[in-house]
Amino acid sequence: MTFQSKLLLVTPPFTQLNTPYPATAYIKGFLNTLGVPSQQADLGIEVILALFSTNGLRQLFTTLDQAEYDIELSENAYRIYSLRQDYIDTIEPVILFLQNKNPTLAHSICDRTYLPEASRFQEVEDLEWAFGTMGTQDKARHLATLYLEDLGDFIQEALDPHFGFSRYAERLGRTATHFDELHRSLEAPDTFITQLLCQILHQKIEAFQPTVVCLTVPFPGNLFGALKCGQYLKRHYPAIQIVMGGGFCNTELRSLSEPRLFDYLDFVCLDDGEAPLRSLLAFLEQKRPIESLKRVYSRVEGKVIYHNGAAEKDIAQRETGTPDYSDLLLMDYLSVIEIVNPMHRLWSDGRWNKLTLAHGCYWGKCSFCDISLDYIKNYEPLTAALLCDRIEEIIRQTKQNGFHFVDEAAPPALLRDLAIEIIRRKLTVVWWTNIRFEKNFTHDLSLLLKASGCIAMSGGLEVASDRLLALMKKGVTVGQVARVADGFTQAGIMVHAYLMYGFPTQTAQETIDSLEMVRQLFENGVLQSGFWHRFAMTSHSPVGLTPEAFDVQRIGPDFGGFADNDLYHDDPKGANHDLYSEGLRKSLFNYMHGVGFEVPLSKWFEAKVPVTSIPPNYIQKQIQENEEPIRKNAFVIWLGKVPTIEYFEAKVGKKKVTMAALYFYQKKQNLTIEMPASLADFWMEIFPFITISEFKKPFSYAQLQSDFENAHLGDFLAFTHSEVWKQLRQNGLLIL
């Protein structure tokens, strides 16, 4: 089917400063397969760049001067206002610096005489700890980020309380069970920020002349900006059809009955957007009736109707096309360093191509997760070959080889195959992703992933309590997490743990024991980064769907026809979780700095807390436990190159025997392993089959054992305890 529509794909303010949210790139890639012309725009970064410019700041301060009402500024805001010319004079060089276009400015920024400073600079952490003595660029980015945040605080206080760098009016979109407050705010006069937004949107419409505008709303902090875009289009371009989709819709609007939303939109799509959008284009071009739409809300005769009569299935992931990042201002994003946390820095510093390896979650059991929804429960992996095809195409598009694989939890088998394919194709890729700390992430797999370009892994340790992990159905234990994290760390991969407190029935004892586990994980060097989250009950998770099974009670909020996701609950068997948030935050901050391990846990808290029941060497003992036995069908892979061989004679007692030396040329050093000639000949025959750069099909551990014993070289199990085997294993022989 061919279509005549032209689509403008819009990410409303605000998501990230350093990289585009990938939803529009995914949809554009799919539209390319249909031959539908489209253009995309990240209005978040475009509004930021317009605002934080010489002209933008000049207009901002002028707007404040011309305000028809008196504004009482705090002492901090008045300081910024008084230094307004300094901000106007410095803003464009700073933005260019954060875009990596003006690197020499770092020296001026770091000497603390160039930038005007307000209250954010009072929070400057120990920069020597954070960046070392040589990290001038990083120090400068952190200081430049504080400078922008000072301006952000000023804008929020004096001109627009909704402003935030990675969110806009988030409070209005969070737990928005009723539409009333959103509606009042939308109908209020435009602010300086929304005026900028509408000006830029107008330019996009005039330049591209779309017939359909698609708004992606991944987070509550995008909702207000999306509806502002819709409001502007309804007033000035009523013929344009407006479609909204994205993560917020998929989780929050599944019970939508609020007709006023459609004063700003025409349609709302749920779940994967490809099939609903294709059905919608057919409807708009009168090629199918409205009843045959797929997962689409609209307003019909004043009522919200859900249309889901399409016969077609969802588009297979292999047929959705390669994400297309063209049209986006990829060189204009800002590399900022907001807070000194190793993993959070990856989120905000540098431009990452975002790519999904597998749709949904291969585990799909965690009781706090929205596993009842399609984006989690419908698991569909791609092949390593197709993924590498897409990686190569995206690198050609963007000229950048950094990738954030944005999976719910990347499957270990798929990561193994992908890493092999990346190395086999000799691709230069730097990547990180999110995982479950499951036992299949062995030390050898960690080494393979590192060799393919992996720099960091994040994963949910959640509550470091085996009872609660079982209740959550995480499928892991604390000891297992420790062993997996240790394997990553030894391979040179940074590990970040998502930590949770306040899970139903969690006691004070379990909270303190969890903290002790975390303390030991950092003290033993197997975690480098972490963040505590307070448990949140959602309506699509097992806890939210059956709270009684977890001994909690739902106590609100009342549903008013709009959003339905965040739930309030009572936890009669659990502790008073409010008592622990600050102590958990403060202790973790110190542990990430490598200090405070000797401080008694009780010192981090204002309230009295129980003494931990965890032995002080618990994590150390868990790390030292042996890995699982090697599976017979495991892959055998050699990470290095095929060696050269040289024979020589050696005297053993009174006899001369023929020996051989295998010479391995590695990137950092040369390696020589001596062994009997017959054993060397065996390995020279095996290396072409297991060398990763020549990898064509799996060579199993069982086959290696069989070939060894058929070559009459002795007992293979005994050989695995030899010095030769030890040297091979330490230098790139992997069993996966």
Task: Write out pLDDT tens, residues 718-727.
Answer: 999 999 999 9
What value does the mean pLDDT take over residues 45-50? 98
Mean pLDDT of 494-507: 96
224-228, 565-569, 590-594 — which one is most confidently predicted on average?
224-228
Bridge partners (DSSP) of residue 242 are 213
Domains located in the chain, CATH noted: 7-44+169-319 (3.40.50.280), 50-158 (no CATH), 341-624 (3.20.20.70), 636-735 (no CATH)
Q: What angle do CA 249, 253, 258 make, to 5 degrees?
A: 125
Q: Taking residues 564-578, what's their average pLDDT? A: 94
- The mean pLDDT value for 290-313 works out to 97
What is the pLDDT, as a whole number, of residue 50? Answer: 98
Q: Label residue 347 by pLDDT band (50, 70, 90).
A: confident
* CB atoms closer than 10 angstroms to residue 538: 19
636-638 vs 733-735, strand pairing mode: antiparallel
The pLDDT score that the predictor gives to residue 348 is 79
pLDDT at 69: 66
Is the model's pLDDT at 131 over the cut of 60? no
Helices (H), 399-531: 412-424, 443-452, 466-472, 478-491, 508-523
User: Is the pLDDT confidence value at 35 over 60?
Assistant: yes
Q: Is the predicted pLDDT of residue 388 greater than 60, yes or no?
A: yes
How many Cα atoms are found within 13 Å in the side-chain-facing hemisphere of 665?
Answer: 3
Residue-wise pLDDT for 607-657, tens only, equals 999 999 999 999 999 999 877 788 888 999 999 999 999 999 988 778 899
434 φ/ψ angles, rounded to the nearest 5 degrees: -115, 140
Residue in 530, 518, 375, 448 with CA at minimum distance from that of residue 733: 448
CB atoms within 10 A of CB 236: 12
β partners of residue 379: none
Residue 132 has pLDDT above 90, yes or no: no
Determine the Cα–Cα distance for residues 53 and 63; give it in Å rounded to an integer. Answer: 15
Return the pLDDT at 126.
58
Q: Which of 124-128, 458-462, 472-476 has the lowest mean pLDDT?
A: 124-128
Query: Does the predicted model carry a pTM greater than 0.85?
Result: yes
Tell me what pLDDT residue 631 has.
87
Q: How confident is the model over 151-207, as pLDDT tens digits? A: 999 999 999 999 999 999 999 999 899 999 999 999 999 999 999 999 999 999 999
Q: Which residues contact 511 (CB under 8 A, 6 or more apart)?
A: 501, 575, 577, 580, 584, 609
pLDDT tier for residue 127 given thresholds of 50, 70 and 90:
low
Task: Return the minimum-mean-pLDDT range out of 145-154, 219-228, 406-415, 690-699.
Answer: 690-699
